[in-house]
Chain A
């Protein structure tokens, strides 16, 4: 009895093994960065979404996309900035679609009749302050918002934020200044 062997043209054993080696090397390299960048990815997503389940989902999606395109990254030192941007974009998309869904549902719900507190100082003492802060953050421009989130992440200095985003230190400071100022204005 003859044995049928499927031969694919253009594919040799050497090429297949070289591809496998390259793939395992990429996998190892990505795995080494995963432990360092995973929590950062989750925190950036949580800063935008403020929901642990959604943030975890977005962080996993961002890491997966980064893995798929990992070999296209020319400068390996820019990996963190690249990953932060992917995560931020994905989280913003998720947040926008969630907001649209909420707006549709809010049309059928009763309007909130609770009176708003008078000043920001009073708000700071109340439980509603966090909600007002989140609302105010949503209205910030994206570049201010990203800098504000990264600067608030524990363990990262402003120099590291500047390096992560690939912008000068002065730009980080000025964006942080305007972001805080706008937040204070919105909460007044």
Chain B
């Protein structure tokens, strides 16, 4: 055992509070004066530590401590909050959280689904063949404005003309259907917006009157030689 190992074992032994050193440490210490002095110095240090700690901790307890505590205990009753069982606080917290979540759900309803595009059509009675396309769509409980606003109209609300939702795919399919069947031209009138007047379907071909301007003098062109 060298001096470094011996000193480390001396320090560990004193820190652990062991009363005796190991045999090999004692043997080295007997043969090495420097380690012997080191052991004596460290022994003094650890003894001083113990004495100092005991002086700090075991101070004289002031006689006024317990009477002072008793006086304060008499003044201060057990609080009612402290007397309440712990589960009461948990129950109150749970009820508060439930109430807050319910209030949030009521005041902030879940966002409705948004359609890609909506088209308002005329009344079903004027739509004719459009009934087949509007019937399933009328089952939606809410009708949304084309601008995707959060305002919605309930089915029973006071709107002048009933509105239906037509998705983009259905609108394209209907346009294709109309393009393929020109004889059903009147059905396209159903796509007119509800506010605008519907033009009457003309049975006879239209006649275009000649344009006549009274103040305008019309002269025949000069005949050329080539003519």
Query: Given the known A-B contacts A39-B61, A60-B72, are A46 and B56 also in contact in the complex, defined by CB atoms under 8 Å?
Result: yes
Least CB distance, B34 to chain A, in whole angstroms: 14
User: Is A183 in contact with B17, judged by CB distance below 8 angstroms?
Assistant: no
User: Is A34 in contact with B66, judged by CB distance below 8 angstroms?
Assistant: yes
User: Is A64 in contact with B76, judged by CB distance below 8 angstroms?
Assistant: yes
Q: Which residue of B lies closest to A188 (CB)?
A: B45
Bound CA span A171–B131, Å: 85
Q: Which residue of A lies closest to B45 (CB)?
A: A120
How big is chain A's contact interface, by range?
35 or more
Query: Given the known A-B contacts A42-B61, A56-B64, A184-B42, are A152 and B82 also in contact in the complex, defined by CB atoms under 8 Å?
Result: no
Q: Interface residue count for B (Cβ, 8 Å)?
A: 40
Q: Which residue of A lies closest to B55 (CB)?
A: A130
Q: Which residue of A lies closest to B53 (CB)?
A: A152
Does any Cβ of B come within 8 Å of A129's Cβ? yes
Query: Given the known A-B contacts A68-B76, A68-B79, A184-B46, are A177 and B15 also in contact in the complex, defined by CB atoms under 8 Å?
Result: yes
User: Is B62 in contact with A121, judged by CB distance below 8 angstroms?
Assistant: no
Contacts of A121 in B (CB 8 A): 41, 44-45
Q: Which of A60, A149, A173 has the most CB of B within 10 A?
A: A60
Q: Which residue of B lies closest to A40 (CB)?
A: B61
Does any Cβ of A come within 8 Å of B48's Cβ? yes
Within 8 Å by CB of B69, from A26, A44, A64, A178, lies A64
Contacts of B12 in A (CB 8 A): 177, 181
User: Is A55 in contact with B49, judged by CB distance below 8 angstroms?
Assistant: no
Bound CA span A27–B78, Å: 9
Interface on chain B toward A: helix, strand, loop, or mixed SS? helix
User: Is B76 in contact with A187, judged by CB distance below 8 angstroms?
Assistant: no
User: Is A67 in contact with B57, judged by CB distance below 8 angstroms?
Assistant: no
Interface on chain A toward B: helix, strand, loop, or mixed SS? helix
Q: Which residue of B lies closest to A44 (CB)?
A: B57
Q: Which residue of B lies closest to A42 (CB)?
A: B61
Bound CA span A152–B68, Å: 26
User: Is B78 in contact with A149, judged by CB distance below 8 angstroms?
Assistant: no
Does any Cβ of B come within 8 Å of A35's Cβ? yes
Does any Cβ of B come within 8 Å of A52's Cβ? yes
Query: Given the known A-B contacts A71-B83, A120-B45, A184-B45, are A38 and B57 also in contact in the complex, defined by CB atoms under 8 Å?
Result: no
User: Is A27 in contact with B15, judged by CB distance below 8 angstroms?
Assistant: no
Bound CA span A180–B45, Å: 11
Bound CA span A81–B12, Å: 29
Does any Cβ of B come within 8 Å of A164's Cβ? no
Bound CA span A148–B52, Å: 12
14 residue pairs A–B, Cβ–Cβ below 8 Å: A31-B70, A38-B65, A42-B59, A46-B57, A52-B60, A56-B62, A56-B64, A59-B69, A60-B68, A72-B86, A130-B55, A149-B56, A176-B17, A184-B11
Closest A-B pairs by Cβ, 7 of them: A124-B48, A152-B53, A181-B15, A180-B15, A133-B52, A47-B57, A152-B57
